Amino acid sequence: MSYSGLGVYQQPPPKPPSRAPLWIALAVVGVLVVGAGVAAAVLLNSGGGSAAPGSSASTPTSTTPPEPDWQPVDDTQSGLAYELPPSWEDTGGGASGRVRFSSSHVSRPFECQGRRMIQAQAVSGSVVDDDLEQVATEVVNRMAAGGYTVDGAPPEIGEPRVESADDEAVRLSVEVTPKSANACYAPKATISAVALRNGPKVSLFVLNVAQGGPHVAEGPSDDDVTRILGSVRLP
C-alpha cells in the first residue's frame, strides 16, 4: 500500500529528493505487537530523572521535563487555525476528490522494514459548498478507502459518527479496520473531521490517526487528539 490512493500523502517537489515517501501505519500481526509494545515501554520509561551530584537530599527534583510548546498552524488558504505537537512535520498540500488541502503535517516518521512511515496526519483545506456534513463525510470516507486499502483489499469502514452539527460547524469521525496485516502496521484507525462554514466555502480539517501497533508511541495520544481537534477554529 502506498499513498497513491490519497494525494495528500505524497511529498511535495521542494523537499530533498533523497527523502522517501511516507507510509501510514495500517495493520499489524498481533504477536508482534506484544514484543514491540514492551520495547517501546522500556524506551519510554528509561529516562527517569535523578538528583544531580552533590545536590541536597531535601532539594526537590523533577522527573518530568517541561512540555514543549505546540506549534500553531495558520492556514490562510483554507481559513483555519489549529495547534499540533511540536514534533510534527510540514509536508505541503494535496487534494482529496474536490477538496484541495493547502496544509499537511505528519507525526514523527519512523523506519520499519525499509519504509519511512507515520502514525498520523493532519490536513486542512476548503471547497465551495454549503453542506458541511456532506463535505466532511465525503472526505473521511475517501481517505479511509484510499489510505487503508492493503494489497487490493478495501478496509471495513464504519458509519460516520456525528459528534456535533449545526449550521456553522460539523464534527464527525469514522473508524477504519484494514483487512490485511503487516508487521509494521496498526490494527485500526480513526479519521476525524471538523467542517466550519466560512462564507461561501467549507473550511475543513481532517485528522487521520492509526491506532495501536508496534509504533503507537510515535503518534498522538488520546489527549493529544482531543487537544488537536479542540484547537481547530476560524482565525
pLDDT in tens, 41-76: 222 222 333 333 333 344 444 455 556 799 999 999
Average pLDDT over residues 149-171: 92
Give the whole-angstrom CA distance, residue 49 versus residue 142.
45
In 3D, which of 203, 218, 209, 169 has the Cα closest to residue 189?
A: 209
**Residue 201 Cα distances to 90, 123, 125, angstroms:** 24, 17, 10
Which residues does residue 197 pair with via DSSP β-bridges, in sequence order? 202
The 10s digit of each residue's pLDDT in 164-207 is 999 999 999 999 998 877 777 788 999 999 999 999 999 999 99
φ, ψ for residue 35, nearest 5 deg:
-60, -45
Report yes or no: 131 and 43 within 8 Å, Cβ to Cβ.
Answer: no
Report the chain's mean pLDDT, rounded to a whole number. Answer: 77
pLDDT class for 22, splitting at 50, 70, 90? low
Q: What is the pTM of this model?
A: 0.74
Long-range contacts of 226-229 (CB under 8 A, 24+ apart): 227/70, 227/83, 228/82, 228/83, 228/84, 228/85, 228/122, 229/171, 229/192, 229/194, 229/205
Quote the pLDDT of residue 55. 38
3-26+70-231 CATH: 3.40.1000
pLDDT, residue 17, reads: 36
Cell representation of residue 144: 479511509
Measure the N-to-C terminal CA separation of the chain; round to a whole number of Å. 36
Most confident by average pLDDT, 15-24, 41-50, 73-82:
73-82
pLDDT at 144: 92
Model confidence at 24, in pLDDT bands (50, 70, 90)?
low
Q: Which pLDDT score, from 0 to 100, does residue 185 have?
A: 77
Domain ranges of the chain: 3-26+70-231
